[in-house]
């Protein structure tokens, strides 16, 4: 007697299908369906992270090891806080790892962010005058890591969005030059598109190594990648502010 034919249930993950509701755009429906079926979204919910982006910095750190116990970290544009959560755990900012140095995590964002145990969160426009001095004051010194997962608001025009995020990344890099300790690391999101060439040149002048990476958690259909610049060479004389009283006699 022949056995029953298998239905195939349990042999693969069942995908959630979302119907397009009246008044909701098709693009919104597709985004919702993708979210519901995204394994990183499910993992973030299960592991208590504030978003799937936490796995991007986890994967980058697994490869380059910059979030070490005792490190002083600045997270620019930190909302909703997933990167800060990872940094707190990896740098031992809560001092829970016996025998390990205790790190510091400073998160800054234009908007108020829900508190994160072990992180110091500040509402700040990092591009305003004096922002670097505020960050150094909060850290009581310089940072070992400056990182940014920021993206400019989408305009719907690919090239415009690319230029905006490169400009944002360049501004983050300029702050990093002011607050990083020698040997420090800069990590930031960019979008592939050609305009990032100038940024790459600038970083290669200031850091020993510059890598461009697309971590597994970054969606395959996204043009985002991450630049990881390590071994900050320090501020050059050209970076020093002009001294009106320092003219040669």
Find tokens 């909060």 and name the residue: 138
Rounded Cα gap, residues 70 and 84, in angstroms = 15
Helix, strand or coil, per DSSP, at residue 185: strand
Q: Which residues make beta-bridge pairs with 72?
A: 104
Could you tell me if 44 and 51 are in contact, meaning their C-beta atoms sit under 8 angstroms apart? Answer: yes
Helix, strand or coil, per DSSP, at residue 157: coil
181 phi and psi, to 5 degrees? -80, 155
Which residues lie below 8 Å from residue 60, measured CB to CB, with a gap of 6+?
Answer: 187, 213, 215, 226, 228
Could you tell me if 226 and 189 are in contact, meaning their C-beta atoms sit under 8 angstroms apart? Answer: yes
CA nearest neighbour of 188 among 139, 230, 225: 225
Active site residue 189: yes
Q: Which two tokens stand for residue 11?
A: 């042999």
49 phi and psi, to 5 degrees? -85, 155
Binding-site residue ranges for S-adenosyl-L-methionine: 81, 83, 109, 125, 149
Write down the catalytic residue from 4, 19, 100, 189.
Answer: 189
Binding-site residue ranges: 81, 83, 109, 125, 149
- Strand 72-76, strand 104-109: pairing: parallel
Residues annotated catalytic, as ranges: 189
């Amino acid at each position: 007697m022949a056995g029953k034919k298998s239905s195939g249930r349990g042999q693969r993950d069942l995908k959630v299908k979302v119907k397009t509701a009246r008044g909701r755009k098709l693009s919104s429906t597709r985004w919702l369906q993708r979210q519901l079926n995204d394994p990183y979204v499910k993992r973030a919910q299960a592991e208590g992270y504030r978003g799937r982006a936490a796995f991007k910095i986890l994967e980058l750190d697994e490869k380059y090891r910059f979030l070490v116990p005792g490190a002083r970290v600045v997270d620019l544009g930190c909302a909703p806080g997933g990167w800060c959560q990872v940094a707190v755990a990896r740098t031992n900012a809560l001092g829970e790892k016996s025998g390990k140095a205790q790190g510091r995590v400073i998160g800054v964002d234009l908007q108020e962010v829900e508190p994160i145990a072990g992180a110091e969160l500040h509402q700040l426009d990092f591009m305003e005058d004096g922002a670097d001095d505020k960050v150094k004051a909060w850290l009581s010194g310089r940072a070992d890591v400056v990182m940014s997962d920021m993206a400019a608001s989408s305009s719907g025009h690919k090239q415009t969005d690319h230029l905006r995020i490169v400009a944002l990344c360049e501004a983050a890099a300029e702050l990093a030059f002011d607050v990083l300790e020698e040997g420090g690391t800069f990590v930031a999101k960019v979008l592939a598109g050609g305009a990032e060439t100038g940024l790459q040149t600038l970083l290669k002048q200031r850091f020993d190594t510059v890598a461009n990476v697309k971590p597994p958690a970054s969606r395959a259909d996204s043009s985002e990648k991450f630049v990881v610049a390590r071994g900050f060479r320090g501020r050059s004389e050209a970076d020093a502010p002009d001294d009106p009283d320092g003219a040669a006699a």
